[in-house]
Structure 1
Amino acid sequence: MPDSCPPRAFATTQVQAGHAPTAPHSPAVPAIYQSNAFEFPSLSDARDRFALRQEGDIYSRAANPTVAVFEERMAALEGGVAAAGVASGQAAVALALLALARTGDHIVAASQLYGGTVDLLGDTFAGWGIDVTFVDQDDPDAWTAAVRPATKAFFAESVTNPLAQVLDTAMVAERAHAAGVPLVIDNTVATPYLQRVKDHGADIAVHSATKFVGGHGSALGGVVVDLGTFDFAADPAKWPQLSEPYARVPGGGLLERFGAKAFITLVKTKYSHDLGPSLSAMGAFQLLQGLETLDLRMTRHSSSAAAVAAFLDADPRVAAVHHPSLASSPWHANAQRYLPRGAASVFSFDLPATGDTEADFARAERLIQALQVVRLVANIGDARTLIAHPASMTHSHMTPEQLADSGIAWTTLRLSVGLEDPADLIADLDAALDVL
């Protein structure tokens, strides 16, 4: 969408941003540019593209026209200045943080994170010499107390997976900015439809587009969006990767050359280029197809999840329900503030505990085996309703202490409520609870 266009409503943006039909065929739908590489008009043009003096496609590992439409559309939906499409949500988290923190640097992250992200930050990043301090996301003082001179980012999820804890984004943003660092938010569960994190102080948004952005469970993808709110030029010594001359592409520092798009340029031309987690043209096309109905789907996901949560909350066979739409939820007030269009459709509930891990696991397995509509799948954000047992599946690499910090027990079951009729979901869960 050209810069001169007036702001569009969300529903219009999700369908049209980033794509303008062009000759000779003028396709109404973004085309799939299924090509590994692109021919140059001349050697001079090739030289200028490699030197970043001229925009244009070179090789699909670095950039692709179909991916570019997806990037521009996601940037528009989040209110950002630029975006980088990558192969998965895990790649999006990794590249966004690697572009901020290098060996010897430090990150402050919420304890309440998806298990794979905990593995990335607590294990892989540690092996690369990047230290991460995990804090209770609801404790304002914990964020501030964890800051060090080497701190380069705060990181959290806007709505956590699997317990649907709603972050006080503005509070964490205030503490990040007081420390002189950007707040990076994983906005996968909320999506920009339920919460545009830029409006609450976040600086960089990441998504597993595999989930609700695509919505169909058939394409992997991720995206990093620079929301354009953090001024890296205010303290250039703290960000040498952006302010100092960019050795691999001579001509000055990235901030000097690309201004507001410096951070995404670094993500693309160094980390995505060197590590290679590229989003394919076909993957971008599939994600764009899903993105066109995001607001409609999220409205249905949210309303159905609220109905299922209310049923479970009223059922004496269930020990606890973790959904922020419930007045009893500790995050109910945050949900009303940050999720006015509807609360999350990914949430958890606890079965009564026996005190014995194996007995609790067996009880969870009996319930799951009895389900006929809800599917046992390690994914969220699908059109289908999915169930998982975090302690033995998605969060199985976490220590008992990490599980406790995240609020996950062996009795915890995660639901990702899909697009089926909620009455069928409730009937399915009702029958399954009878086997306990």
Structure 2
Amino acid sequence: MFVDRARIYVKAGDGGNGVISFRREKFVAYGGPDGGDGGNGGDIILMADPNLKTLMDFKYRQHYKAQNGGNGMGGNKHGRDGEDLVIKVPVGTVLKDPDTGDVLYDLARPGQRVIAAQGGKGGRGNARFKSSTLRTPHFAESGDPGVERWLILELKLLADVGLIGFPNAGKSTLLSVLTKARPKIADYPFTTVTPNLGVCYYNDTSFVIADIPGLIEGAHVGVGLGHEFLRHIERTRLLLHLVDVSGMEGRDPVEDFEKVNKELELYNEDLSKKNQLVVATKLDIVEDRTIYERFKKEIESKGYRVFGISSVTTEGVDELLKEVSTFFKDEKKEDIPQEDEIVTLPPPIKETKEIDIEIDGNTFKLSGAMIDRILKRVNLTDEDSLRYFQNTLLKYGILEELKNMGLKNGDYISVRGFEFEYIE
């Protein structure tokens, strides 16, 4: 199956900062804290859109960033949440981790959504920290950064048009003429062993065409390429049934046409009911066109439209393209159902340790991702904020771990160059 592929970078919005502010009110110490919270950053959301067919747009734009949350303000005014950024992708797009190749999510249904990068949480303003023992907090939290990551988008295309017919009926040659696809072509049966796909642009329409492996009798029970062939047929919306009318193969084109349709019906009756245009190929090497005329008359009597073409001279190709284009123009655009369920991808794993503790004499040096997150929320030059920092270390069990490693009264804790004495 043809796979369209793109690599994109997504960055969710950062959370807004909480603010330090005091209102002016008589008989209230320092006016009382009234710093508001920061808003949450916007998410990056990928949504499956049935009206999109390729990942072409992502070749020209690779970076996507959601809106940051607003900062808090005085008067207990909270910052505005950042707007989510919704990125539309074709149905069938698979999200992969660029480092491991693991599949993160499969957007297989129209309207399906996934949060690829979650926005950062907004920081709390100093009004949040007021308590009976802390009347005038002179600190506030910074907002958390939004998740950022690279993603691989892989689209397993579901073809709009399927080219069917006996082996060597001219399917690969026609595909190369209609699209930029360059399938390997040779003069022997089963030239194509896996489907080749290409995108055809005609006037103001575009559609995906699949050159599907040739069919022989017994395919419905697995003979030849059998089920592999027929599974791909199920995914198409329009079939171009190619029949060689040159007479060079020594076969009757009417019989070839009927055999292929019979295999479709035996495998799945619905396949025989698909929209089908009949394409008589290789007119450039037909010396006597009575075979073609007889074939066209008989097939059209069965209710099919027949187009005679030559992929080499392009005779009749434009007329065929016009008919295919009209078919897709007449189809109504699908409404995108909005699914209630939305999944959030876990953030990418970073190699940075959550907590790294180094002992140097009576000094315990702390570093790591968790410590960095905590530091963004405190002001270590403020006594109240320092007390909040110590309570945070206690809350997450870090102080308990330090005690198990020998921390005692009078020892020092060093955090990113800032050092303070530990007192129970």
Q: TM above 0.5, one fold?
A: no
The one of the two structures with greater contact order (alpha-carbon pairs below 8 A, sep at least 6) is: 1
Structure number with the higher helix fraction is: 1
Q: Which structure would you say has the larger Rg?
A: 2
- Please indicate the TM-score interval, normalised by the length of the shorter structure: under 0.3
Tell me which protein shows more strand as a share of its residues: 2
TM-score between both structures, scaled by the size of structure 2? 0.23
